[in-house]
Chain A
Amino acid sequence: MLRVTIARSIRAMSSAAPASAPDSDASVRKIGRALETYLKHSQQHVAMMEKHRAEFETGKRHLAKMMGLEVHELDQEAIDRAIQYLFPSGLTDPHARPVMRPPDEILPKFQRFTFDEEGRPEGSRFFTLSPKIYGLMSEIGVKTQSVMKFYDEHVGSRSVNRKDLEPANLSGSQWITADKMKKKLSEKFSPELYAQIIIAFEHLASLPGSAIEQNFLMEFREPMTASTGSKLFGPAIPEVQICAETNRRFAEVTTHCKDTRAVVKVTDAGKGKFNVDGLELHDFRHLQSREILLAPMIISKTLGRFDVFATTSSISASLPEAPNREPIQRSGGMSALPRAVRHGAALCIAALHPEATEPLRLAGLLTLDPRKKERSKVNQPGARAKWIWKRR
């Protein structure tokens, strides 16, 4: 009887419709306390999501009215632009800026359990209280077995790649911390369990032939902070592509300096030609500009090897502007424009010529310069400057 009731209430809950009030059936009271709490939280979550969805729709209509648009015209892109215009934010981190997105995308997810037709939880590990971590542990065990078997079968034979019979290469990385593991599996577990997992991983990684499980192992490892693989500030080193027509390698990246945005494409096996908005290197009259543009090539000792093609635009001109004002057309000067191109070119050269990555990084050419002009303040002649005080 109890089982049937649970099954019924769970079926009601897992359906899309809002959960109805719990049955006043006497048997419900016999449900375990934990399950009761779970059901309550689940219903609360569904109700909250409903409310937020309705609020989002209303907000969208208001926003459309404010921006003078039809509701159906207001797609997510238009919303983002409107928010950027209505709440201008100078915060550097994009995650810190105001957003308006559907609640399903941004609100925390509710962890649901799955049950079968009869109301029993799926998978017998449910009763261990930490199903995911035990699942991972058994997966490691299975993989350990298969690696040992693979090694025993293929050692000495020529049918497999010799590299597959070596231990996995884990240099430059470390196991992810317990906190990150908890986030990854979305489950809580004790430090003892974490230690067991790490021991199991270490054992698997030490086996000859574990190279075949390299990808699985790397999922649970992270690069060491001090190593060269650490994340760069700003755009990452792009992927190398191959031009279908000329069959030459190239890399492309978008970056910026001050108010200048630059899309830079560097092609390998070139003549050292530059094309920045249609200008060649000799059109840059100042030595400073030419020095900046050539800095990545000088440092990587590849003068005359790469062709650089860049187009630049003004960031502030592309920002949403009030409808009655025309965006001002600006362009970078003799230093900012070459610097934007330099950052892009350095990233591309690091991609095309990986030996040069470390020298370029040490020269600081792979790091984005996030500085911007500070806005001037109302009632002040500049960002910080004040009018001279005068008695009267």
Chain B
Amino acid sequence: MKPCAELASHVARRVAVRRLGGVHRHFCTEAKAESSLSLLPDAGTLYEMEMPVAKQLNMRTHLPSSLSKQMGTLGEVVTLVREPIVEVASCMRAVNKTFPTLRLVLWGPFGTGKTVTLNQAVHHAYNNNWAIINLRSAMELTRRVKEIEMSSFVSGRINDPSNAVAFLQNFKQQNQHIWKLLGELLTERDYEWSKSEKTLKDKPITEIIEMGISAPFLASDCVGALFRELRRHATADKLEVLVAIDDANSLWGKTLVKRADRTYAPPSDLTLVVHFRRMIQNDWMNGCVLMVADKKEVADARDELGVSRYTPLELFGEEGFEFIEPFLPIETTNYTESESNAIYNYYVKKNWLATEAARTEEGRKQLMHLSAFNPFYYERLCAFN
């Protein structure tokens, strides 16, 4: 399994590098020229996200549940700067109005920090006043659909009002830092949502969002219009956009939405899925699409012993892989010894590791090895002790 995964990653990386050659070459010069992007701390250091910011970015729901609980207990969000976020940040630095959107895929074994890296990237985008399109989990669009409505805009499409409203509300909350800027961006054309509701040309695009939130049956179409306007304005260099989609491979997975004839609808029939796929396409400029390939789409949750694959090709499938190519794969890995020591020292400092045995040298080693250097297991083990 392992060699296969490595090979796939190498191939994917080489392909991506070839196709993104131009971008890669410009990385260094861009990084020097563009000083407007705030820099991340060095890899291996801990950095804190201020609580009000974490609240605005809705970290409590977006972070993995165990980390979100730890955030509540310790009263702060402190994460480790690791290789993947450094790489993501350097890619974000390369984004500009002349290049098509960069597509990055975070992949790696369970619990190695894919979601945490994604949220760090969201915070990085916040620090640089980017627009943030953040989806907590693409799986929610395909598997957790509470109510459905048939689309009046395109026949055969299925709208998902509750998820659409939830997304718009989240978008509004996460983009409060540039809300004024968004208010200055104007719509391109008239949008006729229904017979009575309309958004005229040259109105602020925030009106679209307000419209969607206030009228759930229009929300799905509003998401599409919002994305369209954002793409247009980003290409016109009005703003930069970060599209961060967790479990993005679920956009090509299976759904639990039933059609009238009681068959399961393919994901391409879901309006929100279509809108998000459209956002992933790289036919617009000045944006960065960050996706997470997670095994929860394909793995059997009841199989406690099986080990499923986690490489992008296996998870996105043929169709999805074709769609997102070319992309830059970024692998998340287990801790190195120095990284786990950094986390250990943080926990000791916060008195989170309280027992005598855990604070000894032997305890440190045991925690490290019993967690198998896996960040998720390490956190669980330290919370247990």
Residues of A within 8 A of B (CB): 272, 278-287, 290-291, 294, 297-298, 301, 303-304, 333-334
Task: Decide yes or no whether B369 CB sits under 8 A from chain A.
Answer: yes
Contact between A304 and B2 (Cβ–Cβ < 8 Å)?
no
B2:A278 contact, CB within 8 angstroms: yes
**A residues less than 8 Å from B334 (CB atoms):** 282
Which B residues between 293 and 346 are near A, CB-CB below 8 angstroms?
A: 304-305, 307, 334
- CA gap between A148 and B377 in the complex, in Å: 68
A279 engages B307 (CB within 8 Å): yes
A297→B369 CA distance, assembly (Å): 10
Q: Which of B1-17 contact A (CB under 8 A)?
A: 1-2
B258 interface residue, CB < 8 Å from A?
no
What residues of chain A lie closer than 8 Å to B370, measured between beta carbons? 287, 290-291, 294
Q: Does B374 contact A (CB under 8 A)?
A: yes
Contact assessment for A287 and B374 in the assembled complex, using a CB-CB cutoff below 8 Å: no
- Chain B: number of interface residues, binned into ranges: 20 to 34
Q: CB distance A303 to B366 under 8 Å? A: yes
Q: Bound complex: CA of A301 vs CA of B360, how far in Å?
A: 13
* Closest beta carbon of chain A to B372's beta carbon, Å: 4
Residue pair B366, A282 in contact (C-beta under 8 Å): no
Known: A287-B377, A303-B366. A282 touches B304 (CB 8 A): no
Query: Do A303 and B369 form a contact, CB below 8 Å, given A287-B377, A334-B304?
Result: yes
Assuming the A-B contacts A287-B377, A287-B381, are A281 and B372 also in contact, with contact meaning beta carbons closer than 8 angstroms in the complex? yes
Please give me the residue from chain B that is nearest to A331 by CB atom. Answer: B305
Q: Is the interface of B mostly helix, strand, loop or mixed?
A: loop
Residues of B within 8 A of A286 (CB): 304
Partner of A278, one of B1, B109, B111: B1
Contact B369 A304 (CB under 8 A): yes
| B377 and A282 contacting across the interface, CB-CB below 8 Å | yes
Q: Which among B305, B362, B377 is the interface contact of A301 at CB below 8 angstroms?
A: B362
CB-CB under 8 A from A294, the residues of chain B are 366, 369-370
Contact with B372, one of A278, A284, A297 (Cβ below 8 angstroms): A284
| B247–chain A nearest beta-carbon distance, Å | 19
- The reply to whether A282 and B2 contact each other, CB–CB distance below 8 Å, is no
Q: Is B193 located at the chain interface by the 8 A CB criterion? A: no
Sorted nearest first, the 4 A-B pairs with minimum C-beta distance are: A282-B372, A281-B372, A282-B374, A283-B307
| Shortest CB distance B166–A (Å) | 31
CA distance A278 to B307 in the complex (A): 11
Name the A residues within 8 Å of B365 (CB-CB).
303-304
Q: Known A-B contacts: A298-B366, A304-B369. Give 11 more (CB < 8 A).
A: A279-B307, A280-B372, A281-B372, A282-B109, A285-B304, A285-B305, A287-B377, A287-B381, A290-B370, A294-B369, A294-B370
CB distance from B111 to the nearest CB of A (A): 8
> In whole angstroms, what is the CA distance A279 to B372 when docked?
12
B171 at the interface (CB under 8 A from A): no
B130: CB under 8 A from chain A?
A: no
Residue of A nearest to B366 (CB): A298
Residue of A nearest to B112 (CB): A282
A334 to B305, CA, bound (A): 7
Complex contacts, B372 vs chain A, CB 8 Å: 280-282, 284, 290
Complex contacts, A290 vs chain B, CB 8 Å: 370-372, 377
Which B residues lie within 8 Å of A304 (CB)? Answer: 365, 369
Q: Which residue of A lies closest to B381 (CB)?
A: A287
State the Cβ distance, A369 to closest chain B Cβ, in Å: 20
A-B contact pairs, 25 of them (CB 8 A): A272-B369, A278-B1, A278-B2, A281-B369, A282-B109, A282-B334, A282-B372, A283-B307, A284-B372, A285-B304, A285-B305, A286-B304, A287-B370, A287-B381, A290-B370, A290-B371, A290-B372, A290-B377, A294-B366, A294-B369, A298-B366, A301-B362, A303-B365, A304-B369, A334-B304
What are the residues of chain A within 8 A of B377 when measuring CB–CB?
282, 287, 290
Any A CB within 8 A of the CB of B373: yes
For the complex, give the distance between the alpha carbons of A287 and B378 in Å: 11
A282 (CB) vs chain B CBs: closest residue? B372
Q: Which residue of the partner chain A has the closest CB to B376?
A: A282
Min CB gap B331→A, angstroms: 14
Residues in A neighbouring B109, C-beta threshold 8 A? 282-283
Instruction: Provide the bound-state CA to CA distance between A301 and B369, in Å.
Output: 12
A376–chain B nearest beta-carbon distance, Å: 24
Interchain CA distance A297-B368 in the complex, whole Å? 13
Q: How far is the CB of A356 from chain B (nearest CB, A)?
A: 15
- State the CA gap A166–B94 with chains docked (Å): 79
Min distance, Cβ B338 to any Cβ of chain A, angstroms = 14
Assembly CA distance A284 to B304 (angstroms): 9
Q: How far is the CA of A339 from the CA of B300 in the complex (A)?
A: 25
Nearest Cβ distance between residue B367 and chain A, in whole angstroms?
10
Hey, which chain A residues are within 8 Å of B111, CB to CB?
282
A297 contacts which chain B residues (CB < 8 A)? 369
- CA A331 – CA B372 in complex, angstroms? 22
Most chain B CB neighbours (cut-off 10 Å) among A272, A282, A290: A282
Q: Which residues of B contact A298 (CB under 8 A)?
A: 366
Min CB distance B383 to A, Å, is 12
- Give the Cβ gap from A260 to chain B, nearest Cβ, in Å: 13
Task: For the complex formed, measure the closest distance between the CB of B210 and the CB atoms of chain A, giving whole angstroms.
Answer: 45
Closest to B362 in A: A301
Nearest residue, chain B, Cβ from A285: B304
A-contacting residues, B60-119, CB 8 Å: 109-111
The digit string for B17-37, where 1 denotes a CB below 8 A from any CB of A, is 000000000000000000000
Residues in B with CB closer than 8 Å to A287 are 370, 377, 380-381
A278 to B1, CA, bound (A): 8
Give B104-145 as 1s and 0s: 1 = Cβ < 8 Å from A's Cβ atoms. 000001110000000000000000000000000000000000
Cα–Cα, bound, A9→B353 (Å): 90
Of all chain B residues, the one with the shortest Cβ separation from A332 is B305
Residues of chain B with a CB closer than 8 A to A279's CB = 307
Partner of A282, one of B1, B305, B373, B381: B373
Q: Which residue on A lies nearest to B305, using beta carbons?
A: A334
- Determine the distance from Cα of A333 to Cα of B369 in the docked complex, in whole angstroms: 21
Q: How far does the alpha carbon of A281 sit from the alpha carbon of B380 in the complex, in Å? A: 16
**Alpha-carbon gap, A385 to B110, bound state (A):** 41
A136 shortest CB reach to chain B, Å: 54
Q: Which of B1, B111, B365, B381 has the most CB of A within 10 A?
A: B365
How far is the CB of B6 from the nearest CB of chain A, in Å?
13
Name the residue of chain A whose CB is nearest to the CB of B365.
Answer: A303
- A313 nearest CB across to chain B (Å): 16
A286 to B370 alpha-carbon distance, docked (Å): 10
Instruction: List residues of chain A with CB within 8 A of the CB of B1.
Output: 278
Smallest CB-CB separation from B373: which chain A residue? A282
Residues of B within 8 A of A281 (CB): 369, 372
Q: Please, how many angstroms separate the alpha-carbon atoms of A291 and B307 in the complex?
A: 19
Q: A278-B2, A287-B381, A303-B365 are in contact. Are A333 and B373 (CB under 8 A)?
A: no
Give the shortest distance, in Å, between A78 (CB) and chain B (any CB). 36
| A280 vs B380: C-alpha distance when bound (angstroms) | 19
Q: Chain A residues near B371: list those with CB within 8 A.
A: 290
Chain B residues with CB under 8 A of A334: 304-305
